[in-house]
Structure 1
Amino acid sequence: MRAASAIAASPDKPLSVLTVGEVAEPELPEGWVAVEVRAASLNHHDLWSLRGVGLPGDRLPMILGCDAAGVTPEGDEVVIYPVVADSGDPRGMSLLSERFPGTLAERVAVPRDNLIPKPAGLSFLDAACLPTAWLTAYNMLVTRGRVDLASSVLVQGAGGGVATAAVVLALAMGKTVYATSRDPGKRAKIAALGAVAVEPGARLPERVDVVIESVGQPTFDHSMKCAAPGARIVVCGATGGHLATVDLRRLFAMRLELLGSVMGTLPELEALMDLLVEKDIRPVIDSIYGFSAVADAFAHLESGDVFGKVALDFLH
C-alpha cells in the first residue's frame, strides 16, 4: 500500500526526509482494525516529526499523520480518534505517528474503540479535519476555557488550524470573537468569518473572558493585557517561542487562570461532530490535494501561507 513516511530527521529541511511509496500492510494487534482511509489532513505535528521532534531515530521510518476518516472492513464510515493508550510513553498515551504508524496511508491500523461513526451530514474531508486541530480548539474553548460562562474570546494568530477552528466554533456558540494576524489577507478572511480582525498587539474595545493562545512568546503579553478579571488564558502551543514572560502581578491581581491544553477526549470529538451538524458549520479547508500530491501538500503547509486545514483526498 502507499504511504507518506519520515525516513530520517532533518531540523532544517524537513521535506527532504519525506518519502511517499509502497510499505507493508499494517499489523493488527488484538482489538485493532484496518481502516481504509478516504480522507486525511495535515498538522504541524507532521512537520515537527520530520524535524525529529518527538520522533527519535529508533522509530524510523514512521508513517506520518494523525487525522483521517475512512471505512472499516464491515463497510462502516468512521472517524479515527488518534490518541492511543500507550504504557511505553511517559504520558500514558501517544498520537498515531508517534509510536504507532499514522494515517497518511491507504490503510491504517487503530484500536476498534478509537473509531467513531461518521455523521451522515459530514463529508470524509470535513471529518478528517477534526481529530487534532478542531478537537484541540473545542477542548480549549469548552472544557478548559469554560466558554459557556464567557461573552467574548480572543484568538491569537488566526490562520492556522487550531486558531481558525477556535474562531469558527466560538462564533457558532454566540460569542464576540477578536482574532489577530500579522497578514492583512488573513485578517480579511477572519473578518469574513464574522470575527473582529485586529493586528497583533492592538488594543481591543473590551477585555475578554477567554484567550486562545497558540503563538506563545510574541503574543503572550498581549494575551495577559487583554484578559478580563477572572479570565482563562488557554495555551496549546508556542509556535513563535516557548519562553514567554508572565507578569505575576497581573496574574494574581486580575485573578487570571493559565491553562494548558493538549488534544481532547473521544467523547469531546463526538460532541464536536454533533455541534458541527447541529449548527451547520464546517471546517475551514485551505486546500485539498490528492494523495499522489502529498509532497506538494506538505510544502504548502510548511510555507505558512495557509488559512485553515490542508486536506488530502485519497479518492483522487
Structure 2
Amino acid sequence: MRAAYASSFDDGNPLAALTVGERPAPEMPDESWTVVDVRASSLNHHDLWSLRGVGLTEQQLPMILGCDAAGVDSAGTEVVVYPVIPDPGDPRGYSLLSENHPGTLADQVAVPRANLVPKPAALSFVDAACLPTAWLTAYRMLTTRGRVSEGEAVLVQGAGGGVATAAVVLAVALGKRVYATSRDAGKRERIADLGATAVEPGARLAERVDVVIETVGAATFEHSLKCAAPGARIVVSGATAGYEAKVNLRRLFAMQLDILGSSMGTPQELAGLLALCEEQGIRPVVDSVHGFTEAAGAFERLDSGDVFGKVVLDHTR
C-alpha cells in the first residue's frame, strides 16, 4: 500500500527523512482492532517532529506518519479515526498513532474499534480528516478545560496555526467575542475574516477576557496574564516560542487565575466536536489539499511556515 513514512531522522532538514512509497498492509495486534480504508488524512507539526527524531527511535523505523484520518471501516461505515491509543508504558498513559503504532498517512490504518467515531454525512472526508488532532485539541481547550460557557470573551494567541485557528472558528461559532494575535499582517486579515478581532502580539485589548488559548508559550505568556479577567482560565497546549515562561505570581493569586494544561481530547469530545460542526455548519480552515502522490509537496507546504489552516491529503487522488 502507499504510505508516507519516516525512513530516517534529520533534525536540520526533516523533509530529507521522508519517504513516500510502498509499505506492507497493516497488522492488527488483536481482535479488538480493525482496519480503516483511508479516504483523507491531514498533516500536523507532530509529523515534522517525528522526521527530526523526536519521540521515535531508530529501532522503530520505518514509521508511517500521521495522526489524523477519515475513511471507511470494514463494515462499510464512514468513520473518523480517534488517534489516541492507551499505552501504560508511556508516561502520559497513551501514545498517538505514528508513535508506537503506524500512522494514518497510508491507504490503510489499523486502530482499535473503540477509536472509530461515525462521520456525519454533512462533513466531507477532507473536512473530517482535519478534526482529530488540532481541532479536537482546540475544542477541549475551550470547553472542558476553559469552561468557555461561563465567559463571553476569548483571546487566542498566535492564530494561523492549526490549533489556534480552530480555536478562533469554534469560539466564534459558540457566540463569544474573540480576540486573536498574529505577527503576520496577512494572517491578521484572514483571522478577521473568520470573525475575530485581530491584533498584533502584545496589543492592548478592549476588555479583559475569560479564556486565553495559549499555544505560543514564553513569547506571549506575559500578555496572556495581563489580558486575563478575574477568575479567567489560561489554557496551554503548546510552547512553540519557548517553554520556560515567567509567571507573575502576584497577578496569578490576586486575579485568582487558573493556568491549565491541555492535550488532545476524548472520543466523546471528538463526537461532540463532529456534532457541533454538523449542527452549526462549521467547516475546518483548509490551507491546501494535495493528492497522495503529492505527499512530499504537502510536507514542504507544512514546513514552509506559511500555512493558514490544515494541510490535507486526498487519498482518492
TM-score of the superposition, structure 1-length normalised? 0.99
C-alpha offsets along residues 156-199 of structure 1, whole Å, 9 cap, x if unaligned?
00001100000000000000000000000000000111100000
Q: 5 Å matches for 1:60-209?
A: 60-209=61-210
Identical-pair percentage: 70
TM-superposed CA distance for 1:34, in Å, is 1.0
Structure-2 residue corresponding to 1:314: 315
Amino acid at match of 1:288: V
SS at match of 2:154: strand
C-alpha separation in 1, matches of 2:152 and 2:97: 36
Amino acid at match of 1:245: K
Structure-2 residue corresponding to 1:252: 253
C-alpha separation in 1, matches of 2:292 and 2:253: 50
Structure-1 residue corresponding to 2:23: 23
RMSD (Å) for aligned C-alpha atoms: 0.7
Amino acid at match of 2:4: A
Greater shift, 149-158 or 49-58, is seen at 49-58
C-alpha separation in 2, matches of 1:9 and 1:200: 34
Q: How many residues align?
A: 316
C-alpha separation in 2, matches of 1:247 and 1:55: 36
Amino acid at match of 1:11: D
Structure-2 residue corresponding to 1:242: 243
Q: Structure 1: which 5+ runs fail to align?
A: none
TM-score of the superposition, structure 2-length normalised? 0.99
Q: Structure 2: which 5+ runs fail to align?
A: none
C-alpha separation in 2, matches of 1:131 and 1:39: 12
C-alpha separation in 2, matches of 1:202 and 1:127: 34
C-alpha offsets along residues 225-249 of structure 1, whole Å, 9 cap, x if unaligned?
1001110000000011111111111
TM-superposed CA distance for 1:250, in Å, is 0.8
C-alpha separation in 1, matches of 2:251 and 2:8: 44
C-alpha separation in 1, matches of 2:278 and 2:35: 27
- Runs (4+) off by over 6 Å: none
Structure-2 residue corresponding to 1:13: 13
Greater shift, 151-160 or 82-91, is seen at 82-91
SS at match of 1:222: helix
C-alpha separation in 2, matches of 1:312 and 1:226: 38
SS at match of 2:37: strand
